[in-house]
Amino acid sequence: MPRSSELLYPQREPVTPRPAATVLLLRDGEQGLEVLMTRRSLTASFTPGAYVFPGGALDATDGQAQDVARHRPGQVGAALTDAVAALRESFEEVGLLLAEDAEGIAISAAQASTLDRSAPLLPQLRERGWRLSAQRVHVLARWITDRDMPKRFDVGFLVAPAPVDQTPQADEQEQFDPVWVNPSQALARHAEGTFSMIFPTIRTLQRLAAYATVQHVLDACDSEQPLWVSSPRGGHLKDKVERFMESDPAYGELALTCPDGQLQHRLDWQSLTPVSLTQGVRRLTAPNPGIMTGPGTNTYLIGRPETGFAVIDPGPNDPVHLQRIHDATGGDIRVILCTHSHLDHSPGAAPLQALCANRPEVLGLPSAPTANAMHPPFHPDRTLQHGELITLSGKVDGAPHHYTLEALFTPGHAANHLCFVLREDGLLVSGDHVLNGSTTIVSPPDGNMDHYLDSLDLLAEACVRWQIGYILPAHGHVLGFANKAIAHLKAHRLAREAKVAAAMRALPEGSLQDWVAHAYQDTPQALWPIAARSLQAHVDRIRRLEAQTA
């Protein structure tokens, strides 16, 4: 994690979330799977006017209801408390009671109508010898309200089949207008502006839309663990506050820039001025967006005025971009580092050097003989060694301050590829080896899949050694959960390789184009020519492995 002195904003402690539970009551309707939703009061203190699922904060009595709740053997502790709370709230808010009598027979609508919804539910159940059907409630997800909110909840999202003969009736105090709705239809109405929902509800319905029936949902939730746990983060995008889950590309950048959840960071891509990621790390994106570069090539400026600056990947030979780099650093560039020699990374190094009065050294690895001729040859002033350190030093607020970059040799995407670890702050500048939002191309002969996978292992070890939490890629936003990101990337590559091997077995006389059609069915066909380059790297690796075992 970055040093506290490197954080962009004074930190404050977010509000502690209150435990709560909500239940998605499901039925199979004419439009397929349907879920019950109600509209919250316009005067509610939390999400007024939004359509939600029944639920609310846990009561002290919810955890003391084992005698009035039938449950599964593994449904104990917090899981049972959440189920009781959700079923209690569904009765209080919409009048639906998922319960059974002493013989295990479901409570009918007529029986449920004998209960007083304004009085505590659990004593009434005890009086009649009824039990809540908690065993029919399953854990779907867990949502924790965003850190910037003044009122926060830690909410178990549960699913259960709705009582078959009961009609929902809102309490007309907290909840109004109960409606059975298909998840996809709810999302469409929200997009039209006629069905207001908050972020967790939207994302939950997006997941739910993948299931055709109630039983499909229950089968997916057959363990006692949530399918996902999320505490979203917010940032500004196109002048609006947008929320993001941990799996979204922007999440890591928001966690790095605003760890306490403040709504300070702007996510829009722009090339005019640098974007601050920490006090000592800024990103200036080159104006070269495209299918291969995404929003553009990220140039990273490491350092402060007191220490001077290291520039990583000056990008293409774009005079306007290079002048912006020079201006952003005040011309005090101590060293220029290139992750590799591709067209969008290193050509700007020499002209940027010429802009600087002190002519800083250009460091990296020279182009290998296998380099593609379309990329201009790269000849650094000095060749970096694996493990070599580049240090910037100065005094900040009267105290010594350092930025130490360690060069890591990571061939695979290119034969001369380097990554850089900013040791003091646990940051990895990954070049094209790890990207955000896509997987990198491994194009032989300069690219090599064996080397690529080995380099991922090396980066995973570096993440442990230097407690790296964030990855700064050459294209896309900052990635969080660095170790998980690298592990996921390796698993993805090996899964793709399995598909390539299967295509080769199915079509032993096939061409690369034939194999691409089989192994990259989940990729838009327009990208198959690009995918064929990485497929060739997989084919080469498969054949090498086969030769070793022959």
Which positions are annotated as active-site residues?
A: 344
Q: For residue 40, what are the β-bridge partners? A: 175
d(CA 318, CA 344): 10
| Angle at 197 (CA atoms; ends 194, 198), nearest 5 degrees | 150
d(CA 65, CA 12): 37
Q: Of 94, 65, 88, which is closest to residue 77 (Cα–Cα)?
A: 65
| Residues in CB range of 447: below 8 A, 6 or more apart | 412, 413, 414, 415, 441, 533, 534, 537
* Residues belonging to the chain: 550
- Under 8 Å between Cβ of 544 and 450: yes
d(CA 16, CA 354): 53
User: Among positive and negative, which fits the CA dihedral 146, 149, 154, 157?
Assistant: negative
d(CA 40, CA 132): 25
Residue 212 exposed, middle or buried by CB count within 10 Å (0-12, 13-18, 19+): exposed
Cis peptide before 150 (omega within 30 of 0): no
| Residues in CB range of 1: below 8 A, 6 or more apart | 425, 426, 467, 469
